[in-house]
């Protein structure tokens, strides 16, 4: 989902707009980048651009054609793989789309075929699609979106024009989180954890991660983190590992903030900026060498989760590590 009032893929959109104005648009594009960067939305904007009924297309154009494309109801738009729960895009789906492409546009100037997460196409489907990429029907534009282009066949990659999408800036994510959710101080943490993906930032807000993060920070700053961790000793194994991943990430960010304060005296950017005052107090009794060691220890524990080490053993190890900073 693209950020309202802040089209972060503006650079990519300008590139496409210039190509359209100069009649140099490709017939087949590959939009690549991590989940949540607006690949589908950029593809829809390209569809709007080439089918817009106004003289000068602009992002957010309210004309009837652009509105239909954004809503996914335009007769000359087809999206394969829009259900991201489907594990694969099969040859049957591709062949149906190929047949649809060969009909003339019904209402607009171009037919637009978008294949979301195209790396889900089976090998047979990708091979079947090669002919269409080699000889695309007139008045058609094909757009593949991928998170990992290396999962596509080299023969596919050689026949498309790739545009790599940039992650959203932290400021963009924080501004939108403030508009949509009223979040301010917590925005630094969410933006950092999201890795530049707005969808991931939204998931963090709506999944309860922030509540858990605040609980951890409150215990940490009150030097009662052991009380918090002991709760895991009586927890059921089901779901414990996934929760521990969140706990380890949050604690790693806390230690990183403490290290930044110790090394710089004051630090303008903290991941947990809304707890700056409390962390500054704890940093006064911490030293950089110990904090670096703790960060290394946490990375080791994080690797244990991926190796399916017993979760309660991980909790015990984490309690030992926490003793070095709040003991």
C-alpha span between 305 and 139 (Å, rounded): 51
Q: What is the mean pLDDT of the chain?
A: 86
Task: Write down the pLDDT at residue 235.
Answer: 58
Q: Which residues contact 190 (CB under 8 A, 6 or more apart)?
A: 173, 174, 177, 183, 201, 204, 205, 210
pLDDT at 241 > cutoff 80? no
Q: Which residues contact 30 (CB under 8 A, 6 or more apart)?
A: 118, 143, 144, 145, 146, 149, 152, 157, 160, 161, 162, 163
- What is the pTM (predicted TM-score) of this model? 0.67
Which CA distances in Å does 135 have to 27, 94, 141, 160, 262? Answer: 10, 15, 12, 12, 61
C-alpha span between 88 and 123 (Å, rounded): 10
C-alpha span between 43 and 142 (Å, rounded): 9
pLDDT at 133 > cutoff 90? yes
Taking residues 212-234, what's their average pLDDT? Answer: 86
Q: Pick the range with the lowest mean pLDDT from 46-55, 67-76, 315-324.
A: 315-324
pLDDT class of 8 with cuts at 50, 70, 90: low
Q: Give the 3-state DSSP-derived string for the chain, with helices as H, strands as E and coil as C.
A: CCCCCCCCCHHHHHHHHHHHHCCCCCCEEEEECCCCCCHHHHHHHHHHHHHCCCCCCCCCCCCHHHHHHHHCCCCCEEEECCCCCCCCECHHHHHHHHHHHCCCCCCCCCEEEEECCHHHECHHHHHHHHHHHHCCCCCEEEEEEECCHHHCCHHHHCCCEEEECCCCCHHHHHHHHHHHHCCCCCHHHHHHHHCCCHHHHHHHHHCCHHHHHHHHHHHHHCCCHHHHHHHHHHCCCCCHHHHHHHHHHHHHHHHHHHHHHHHHCCCCCCCCHHHHHHHHHHHCCCCHHHHHHHHHHHHHHHHHHHCCCCHHHHHHHHHHHHHHHHC
Phi, psi of 322, rounded to the nearest 5 degrees: -60, -30
Q: Which domains occur in the chain, in start order?
A: 10-164 (3.40.50.300), 208-326 (1.20.272)
pLDDT at 238 > cutoff 60? no
pLDDT class of 12 with cuts at 50, 70, 90: confident
Predicted confidence (pLDDT) per residue in 269-293, tens digit: 788 888 889 999 999 888 898 999 8
């Amino acid at each position: 989902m693209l950020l309202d009032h802040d089209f972060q893929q503006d650079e990519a959109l300008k590139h496409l707009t210039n190509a359209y104005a100069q009649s140099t648009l490709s017939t087949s594009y590959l939009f690549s980048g991590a989940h949540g960067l607006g690949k589908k939305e950029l593809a829809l904007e390209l569809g709007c651009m080439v089918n817009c009924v106004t003289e000068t297309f602009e992002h957010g154009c309210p004309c009837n054609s652009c509105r239909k494309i954004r809503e996914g109801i335009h007769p000359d738009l087809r999206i394969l793989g829009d259900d991201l729960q489907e594990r694969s895009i099969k040859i049957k789906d591709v062949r149906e789309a190929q047949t649809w492409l060969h009909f003339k546009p019904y209402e607009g100037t171009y037919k637009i075929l978008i294949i979301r997460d195209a790396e889900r196409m089976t090998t047979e489907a990708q091979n079947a699609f090669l002919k269409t990429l080699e000889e695309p029907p007139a008045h058609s534009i094909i757009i593949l979106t991928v998170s990992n282009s290396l999962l596509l066949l080299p023969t596919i990659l050689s026949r498309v024009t790739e545009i790599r999408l940039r992650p959203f800036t932290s400021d963009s994510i924080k501004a939108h989180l403030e508009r949509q959710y009223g979040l301010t101080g917590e925005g630094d943490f969410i933006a950092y954890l999201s890795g530049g993906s707005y969808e991931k930032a939204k998931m963090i807000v709506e999944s309860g991660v922030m509540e858990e993060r605040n609980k951890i920070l409150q215990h940490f700053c009150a030097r009662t983190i052991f009380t918090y961790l002991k709760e895991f000793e009586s927890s059921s194994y089901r779901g414990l590992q996934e929760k521990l991943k969140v706990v380890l990430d949050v604690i790693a960010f806390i230690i990183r903030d403490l290290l930044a304060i110790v090394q710089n005296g004051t630090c303008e950017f903290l991941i947990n900026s809304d707890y700056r005052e409390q962390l500054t107090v704890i940093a006064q009794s911490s030293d950089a060498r110990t904090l670096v060691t703790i960060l290394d220890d946490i990375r080791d524990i994080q690797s244990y989760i991926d190796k399916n080490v017993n979760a309660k053993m991980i909790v015990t190890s984490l309690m030992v590590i926490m003793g070095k900073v709040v003991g």
